[in-house]
Every structure is written in structure tokens, then in C-alpha cells.
Amino acid sequence: MGWISDFLLLNDPTLRVVVPGVLLLCGMSAAVGCFTFLRKKSLIGDAVSHSVLPGICIAFILNGEKNIFYFLLGAMISGLASVLIIDYLTKSRFARNDTAIALMLSVFFGLGIVLLTYIQHQGNASQAGLDSFLFGKAASLNKDDLMIFGISSLLIFLLIAFLLRGFSLVSFDDSFAMSIGFPVVWLKSLLSVLTVWSIATGIQAVGVVLMAALLIAPALAARMWTNSIIKMLLLAGIFGMLSGYSGAFVSYALPQMPTGPWIVVMASVIAFGSLLLAPRKGLFSQIIERNNNEKKILQENILKIFYHIDEKSGETQKAVLQEDLLNQRSFSNRNMRKGLRILERKNYLSNHLGAWSLTSSGRVEAKRIVRLHRLWELYLQEYLHLDPDHVHDDAEAMEHVITPEIEAQLDVLLGNPTIDPHQTQIPSKDE
Amino acid sequence: MNSNDLWIVFTAIAVALICALPGCFLVLRRMAMVGDAISHAVLPGIVIAYLLSGSRNTMYILPGAAAAGMLVTVLIEWLQKRLRVQSDASIGLVYTLLFAIGVILVTAFTAQTDLDQECVLYGEIAYVPFDMMSIVDGGFSAPRQLWIASGLLTVLIIVITLGYRGLYLSTFDPGYATAIGISVVFWHYILMSMVSLAAVVSFESVGAVLVVALLTGPPAIASLFAKRLPLMLLLACVFGVLACVFGYLIASFLNASISGSIAVVIGVLYAFSLVIKKIFF
């Protein structure tokens, strides 16, 4: 297992360049990706990443050798050109946004492929490895690359730190940003330049085809965990670096494996993991929340039946058989049993020889729900002028969500009422 | 031009036609980027079908890869509807993941699949004349790719002709279509399977990204001039054919990638059409 510690301790000199390089690239594009994600322009990032290819090839043709400065310059120019053309096509309504993006993406990429194959057939010996821009060449990064990545990440970090307020405003609500006097056009253009810049540098790690993932996946994952832009930027940076690190690890362990696709797979795993597991917004917690809600509604509906039976018979805490409960209101047998069991555990119901009755705390709870139901019915009648026979269904839904504060307001608004639209008693709050 | 050149151009034209027809509906439905996602996502489908069936037989590859294309549309819709992920991010997330998996599989099993990373991106249309076959023994012989593409073209033309009303109404006025009892969902999936099949068949010839050029380019040019759907379909086919012919000429002149040149010609045609539209219309 020596190679694992070699990787972790960066014992290999190439690792000392590759790992920091990949971390910088992934962190940087993840942070910039947050803004493109929030502006719902993730696919522009996709178009740009495909569009930088011809720029790189032209830089090589003009310069005759592989030089990262010229590559970056060429990539910036062709990337920005495609952004401008997409903007023009969309604004002038010649093409819809999605068509414009798909068209520019494939045409620029096609041009890149033509130039790349043209260069390859020219037989210039120094072109070898140019095609690594297609899928990235993380394993062959050198110290010059590393320096450039360091400088660009620092620049991007500083720009984001100083202009965070402006950037977030144009990302969330650009008309508001305009109305309070922010230079929206400048900020948006700067964001576009930053996007193109981070893509132009980032393609060295994952290549033009998969670069979009480095912008989208960490931002999407981070968005699931937080609502604060600062936390989102930090989280996205961490997620990006994590995927870069693990991608580099895989390609170190299995040298024939391409690094770029593995980084993308790792980033996607984090994104899908967040989509499923994140608290509140994640799929699982949504399912749990919905189940809890359904359970709560079930319990409250059962308690109401007991109250109604008490009310009709004039006794309090009358014992009822399960079959009689089912006659009052339709539940599936299974749900009814489940609800009764939970209520017994909560000590709202007690069971004597198969007959169920409210406990005293159960009666208080049942009364609360019936009270909310009837208050809402009365409110609908008084304020929305609905007929008494139209108010019940709405109250069925609202009774489960009315908070004590709203209850108090309703009470004041309706003048401490005692009779609901169906001429039944509204239970009083105290007792 | 010798017969090899002709076979390449014919294959390119067949591929352009099978992309242009469903592409028109994609462009009209604002789903061009879904086409992009599908065309990337068929890669893992192709590789897995290769590995499972152990053969290059189209009978296995076509359904396998088309299934991957459908999986992508279903995943994107699931992300959008169930998890309320914005549409751009869900498209970007899904297709990059599937394409990355495809590239990893290609790298890991290069020997078994005779695919390599570059063919995934450029396609290998220049080699189609080396893989000839005839349907009857000793009968008329043409490139295998051309047979497959023409077969699919026939199917697409039949489906679009028979299902024209459903495709047309569900594209332009889904509400009305639903009201008169046409299932919008059904036609959506018919379209998506046409796109998936077109993407799979074109993939081997022109590669992942340039499928997108053929799916969206000719329809986008056609939509600049055509005001009616039949004319748009026809014009898209015409521009597709033009792009193939000129693309091939440029490619042989520069000794560069054929599929790349076709995409460039599509871009140039689009630019010309914009100028013509601005001046004359």
C-alpha cells in the first residue's frame, strides 16, 4: 500500500505539481461556477468550454510551439467570441437561446477539430499532446502551468472578495441591482470574462468536453446545503477541490485512466449525493418531511373523530370500537391501525379490551384541532363570504397548519366566537 | 471523385438527414440542448452494449444506446420536476456524468470495443468505405453505415408522416393537443426516441459533438426562412445536404476532419443566411 502514502504525502515530484494544480483549477472553476449557476447560465459555460478549442489551435498555428500564455490568450478570445455571438443571436431573436448555444458550441468545436486535425497532418513534431486539451492532461502539468493557475486563482479570489455584493446582486436580481445604481452591465461582463477565464485555465485539467461539469456540479451541490452566497462559494470550492483530489488519486492509482473524466464523475457523485441527502432540500429529507406531515394529519383526523363522537353522545372520553371509528370517516384499515398505535404511544388514546377512548391530554389536543377547524370555517364565512356548505373542505386542510399565533389573530378578528357556521359550538381555548 | 469519396458523401448526407428531421422539432420545442445531452449520453450506452453483447452488431448496439439516450431525458426531467433543479444545470450535470462514464469505459476497454477517445469526438466517417456489406449475398454493396442510416431515415420519414398531426400539435400547442385527446407525453417520447436513434447512428460517423451541429444547425437555418413546418423540414434537409457536400470538399482540400468541416460549413451557412435575411426579408 506504499503508493497510497506516496500519493497522500506527495512523495512523487510530479504529484507535487499535479495535485496543487488540480486543486487550484477545480476550486477556482467551482467558485466562478456558483455565479453562472445562479444566473441560470450554466449551459453558456458548456458552450464556452467547447468554443475555446479553435483559439488554442490558432494560437499554436501562429506561434508554432506549445506555450500556455498564448493558449490562454487564444482560448479567451474564441471563448468570448462565442459568448458575444450567442448573446447577439438571442437578443436579435434570430435564434432562441438554447438553439444559439447548441449551434455555437458545435460549430466552434467543429472548427477546433478541423484545425486540430489540420495541425496533426502537418507533421510538426511539437504538436504532440495538443489533443490532450480534448480530455485534459492533468497528469502532465508543469511548474509554469502551476504558477499561472496560482496567479489566476488569486486574482479570481480577490475579485470575488471585493465585488461579492455586486456579483451576488446581478446574479439574484439584476433589475434591482440596476435600480440602486450598480454598474450592472460592467458586472455582468466581468462575470462573463471570469467564466471564460476560469474555463480557459480549467480545461487543462478536464478538457473542453467535460469542463462544464466543473462549473455546474460543485455549485449545484453547494446550493443544496445552504442559502448564503458566502457559504455556497466556500462549499462549492471545497466540493470542487475534493473531486479534483479524488480524480487525481484515481488516475495516480490507475495510470492509464484519464484524470478529467474521473474528476467529473467524482463531482457528479458529490452533486447527486447532495441532491439526495442534503437537509431540507434533499430528496430524502423531503420524503421524510412529507411522511411526517401525512402522519400528523392522520393523527389529527383520528382525534377529531373522537371529539365528534363525544360531542354527539354528550359523554366525555367515550369508548369506541375501531369499526365504529371507520364508520365515521373513511380511512384504510392499515392507516387507522397505524394512527391509533401512534396516538396510544403518545398517550392521547387509551385502549381497554379493544375499545378506544381519549385520554385527558388527548381530549385537549382533539379540542384544539376542532377549534381551529371551526374558527377557519367562520373566518371564511365572515371575511370571504363563502356559504356555510362551502367552507368545510378548505378548513380540513387549514386546521393542520394554523399556528397558535394565527389562532390568536383569528380569535381577535372574529371577536372570540363561540358558534361556527354550522351552528355547532367552537370549543374554547382555555380549560 | 472516386467511389470512396462518393460513399463518404452519401453516408454523410444520410446522417445529416436523419438528424435534420427530428432536429426541427427539437429546435421548435426549445430543446436543442437536450439534443446535445442525448448525443453525448449515447456513448456509455454504446460501450456497455458492446461489452455485454461482445459484438459490433447494430442489432444490439442500437437499442442499448437508444436506451441510454432515453435514460438521459428521463433523468433530466426527474431532476427538474422532482428535485426542482433548474433546467440548465440538470442538463449539464446529467450529460457530463454519462459522457465521463463513457470515456472511462472506452479507455478501460479500448481493446474490446475498437473505439478510442478521438473517434468518440470526431467519428470515423473517412473509414466507412472500408466496411462494405450487401443485403443479399453478391448483391448491391454499400457501406454498412450507409445501410443503417438509410434504414433509419426510412423509419423516421414513415413515423413523421404518419404521426405528423401529433408531432405538430404537441409541438406548437400542447394545451390544444391535450384538449382534443392527443397525448403530449406520448409524442414527447416518440420524438426523444427518434433523436436518440439518430444520435446513435450518427455517433459512429461524426462523433458526439458534431451530432449536435447536424441536429440544430440545418433546422436553425431553415427556421430563419420557413414559416411553415413542412417547408422547414424540407429546407433543413436541403441545408444538411449542402453542408455535407461543401464540408467534404473543404476537408479533402485541407486534409482535415470531415465531420469538423461539415460543422464549420453549417456555421458559415448560418452566417450567410443571417446576412441574406437581414438584407432581403
pLDDT single digits (tens) A318-370: 788 877 777 777 778 888 888 888 888 888 888 887 788 888 888 888 888 99
Given a contact cutoff of 8 angstroms between Cβ atoms, the answer to whether A351 and A359 are in contact is no
How far is the CA of B58 from the CAs of A331, B61, B137, in angstroms?
Answer: 54, 5, 19
Given a contact cutoff of 8 angstroms between Cβ atoms, the answer to whether A268 and A292 are in contact is no
Query: What pLDDT was estimated at residue A1?
Result: 59
Burial of B140 (0-12, 13-18, 19+ CB in 10 A): exposed
Identify which of B122, B217, B274 has the shortest CB distance to residue A113: B122
Given a contact cutoff of 8 angstroms between Cβ atoms, the answer to whether A319 and A352 are in contact is yes
Residue B28 touches chain A, beta carbons under 8 Å: no
Query: Which of A10-19, A52-61, A94-103 has the lowest average pLDDT?
Result: A10-19
Report d(CA B72, CA B78) in Å as an integer.
10
**Segment B103-158, tens digit of pLDDT:** 888 888 876 666 666 667 777 777 777 777 777 666 677 788 888 889 999 999 99
CA angle A112, A113, A119 (to 5 degrees): 90
Report d(CA B205, CA B124) in Å as an integer.
5
Identify which of A99, A117, A261 has the shortest CB distance to residue B32: A99
Answer yes or no: is pLDDT of A430 > 70: no
Give the single-character DSSP code of A419. Answer: B
ipTM tops 0.90: yes
**Which position has the grid cell 453516408?**
B11
Given a contact cutoff of 8 angstroms between Cβ atoms, the answer to whether B267 and B239 are in contact is no
Answer yes or no: is pLDDT of A243 > 90: yes
Report d(CA A404, CA A103) in Å as an integer.
57
B170, amino acid identity: S
Relative to beta strand B132-134, strand B141-143 is antiparallel
Residues of A in contact with B262 (CB under 8 A): 110
**What are the domain boundaries of chain B?**
3-128+145-207
| Least Cα separation, residue A313 to chain B (angstroms) | 47
Residues of A in contact with B209 (CB under 8 A): 50, 105-106, 109-110, 113, 209
Residues of B in contact with A106 (CB under 8 A): 36, 209-210, 212-213, 216-217, 263, 266
Report d(CA A150, CA A183) in Å as an integer.
29
Residues of A in contact with B35 (CB under 8 A): 102
For the domain made up of B3-128+145-207, give the CATH fold. ABC transporter involved in vitamin B12 uptake, BtuC (1.10.3470)
A221, amino acid identity: A
A320 pairs with which residues across the strands? A356
Give the single-character DSSP code of B130. Answer: G
Query: Which of A113-127, B24-38, B205-219 has the lowest average pLDDT?
Result: A113-127
Query: What pLDDT was estimated at residue A287?
Result: 92
How far is the CA of A364 from the CAs of A67, A310, A316, B35, in angstroms?
Answer: 79, 13, 12, 59
Residue A109 touches chain B, beta carbons under 8 Å: yes
Give the list of residues 6+ apart from residue A379 with CB closer than 8 angstroms, or none. A410, A413, A414
Residues of A in contact with B255 (CB under 8 A): 117-118, 121
List the one residue out of A60, A52, A61, A58 whose CA is nearest residue A104: A52
List the one residue out of B5, B4, B7 whose CA is nearest residue B149: B7
**Segment A78-117, tens digit of pLDDT:** 999 999 999 999 888 888 888 999 999 999 999 998 998 8
Answer yes or no: is pLDDT of A193 > 80: yes
Task: Give mean pLDDT, residues A44-67.
Answer: 88
Instruction: Work out the number of other CB atoms within 10 angstroms of the CB of residue A416.
Output: 9
Residue B100 touches chain A, beta carbons under 8 Å: yes
Q: What does the mean pLDDT of chain A come to?
A: 86
Give the single-character DSSP code of A385. Answer: -
Q: Which long-range contacts (CB under 8 A, 24 or more apart) does A161-167 make?
A: A163/A187, A163/A190, A164/A229, A164/A230, A167/A35, A167/A191
- Inter-chain touch A113–B277, beta carbons under 8 Å: no
Residue B107 touches chain A, beta carbons under 8 Å: yes
**Which position has the grid cell 462523433?**
B207
For the residues of B175-211, what is the DSSP string, one character each? Answer: HHHHHTT--HHHHHHHHHHHHHHHHHHHHHHH-HHHH
Q: Which domains are assigned to chain A?
A: 12-281 (1.10.3470.10), 292-431 (1.10.10.10)
Instruction: Work out the number of other CB atoms within 10 angstroms of the CB of residue A274.
Output: 21
